[in-house]
Amino acid sequence: MRVKPRSMSVTSGKGGTGKTTITANLGVALGALDKKVTILDGDIAMANLNIVMGMTKCEINFFDVLLGNASVDQAMYTNYGIKVLPCGFRFEEVHETLSKIKRERVEEVVNEILGQTEILLIDAPAGMAETTLISIAAAREMLPVCNPTYPSLVDVYKTIRVANVLGSWTRGLIVNRTGKAADLLVDEVEQFMNRALGSMPVIADIPEDPKVQEAEREGVPVVVYDPECEASIAINELAKVITGETDLPYVPWEDREIGETAERLIRALTGRRV
Ligand SMILES: Nc1ncnc2c1ncn2[C@@H]1O[C@H](COP(=O)(O)OP(=O)(O)O)[C@@H](O)[C@H]1O
Ligand SMILES: [Mg+2]
């Protein structure tokens, strides 16, 4: 029996949280678990998934597919055991063409991809622009990514709320670049999210790891470049959480005192007393 394909958008409030890195590497990690995986660059204006995947020459891409100038198959490439639908645009045409991108067309493309894959990951653009909402709405599930800082938490909280309205389901949160002295602890992140959203477990704690940028410079996904480094280990764990091979990495948080700053923030965000 054919397994029902899953579509997931990798999102965050702001840029630079690690969406592209996670889309590429989680994709490759899921591929290594024998899943048929496709990753799609939905960050149309700032497309760079191809770079992290070490693919520089992708003349036909998602942009052409959206405009109706190419088929999905023509724009699909295989690399590191998974399918990649990169994006990119011609600078001369960007303004004219971005405004032509329609939700129906993206959904058509997503449905076509889902006909030939088990898991689709969409690298979504940051912010709340039309293209972001389209990327979130096109997928049934959302994988929100944040960094362990208050501003990042507030941003991702908003994204999760918007995704709920758009009908996209969120299993849990990915916390990326953890472990610096000034950061929030992952426990604190989870506590904050649970207070603000009712229930939002952390499904991955990916540490700050210099190997990530080293791999990026080499144009090789870090899970291939150095499978033993801390970030790769965490991403491979996440892949197993997604497929259901392992349980969540965290036991549910205990209901204990939350810090004063966090309390104020939650009140400001939700209008609720905590
Ligand atoms: N866990 C990590 N450790 C170190 N650097 C990271 C980590 N995750 C991402 N980065 C780096 O942060 C930068 C932004 O990541 P990227 O995936 O492009 O973010 P986004 O797609 O959300 O804008 C990149 O240079 C990337 O290599
Ligand atoms: Mg990106």
**Residue identifier of the C-alpha nearest atom 14 of ligand 1:** 16
88-134 confidence digits (pLDDT tens): 877 777 777 777 788 898 999 999 999 999 999 999 999 888 889 99
Q: At what angle do helices 130-138 and 150-166 cross, to 10 degrees?
A: 60
232-245 confidence digits (pLDDT tens): 999 999 999 999 98
Whole-number Å distance, alpha carbon 91 to ligand 2 midpoint, is 18
Closest Cα to residue 189, out of 161, 248, 149?
Answer: 149
Looking at the DSSP assignment, which residues form a beta bridge with residue 202? 173
pLDDT at position 130, please? 86
**Cβ pair 148, 34 in contact under 8 A:** no
All domains of the chain in start order, with CATH: 6-270 (3.40.50.300)
pLDDT at position 251, please? 54
Q: How far is CA 252 from CA 23, 176, 191, 203, 204, in A?
A: 26, 19, 9, 11, 13
Q: Which of 212, 214, 233 to mutate to test ligand 1, by most ligand atoms within 8 A of the CB atom?
A: 212
41-88 confidence digits (pLDDT tens): 999 888 999 999 999 888 899 989 988 899 999 999 999 999 999 998
Residue 249 has pLDDT above 90, yes or no: no
Atom of ligand 1 nearest to the CA of 216: 27
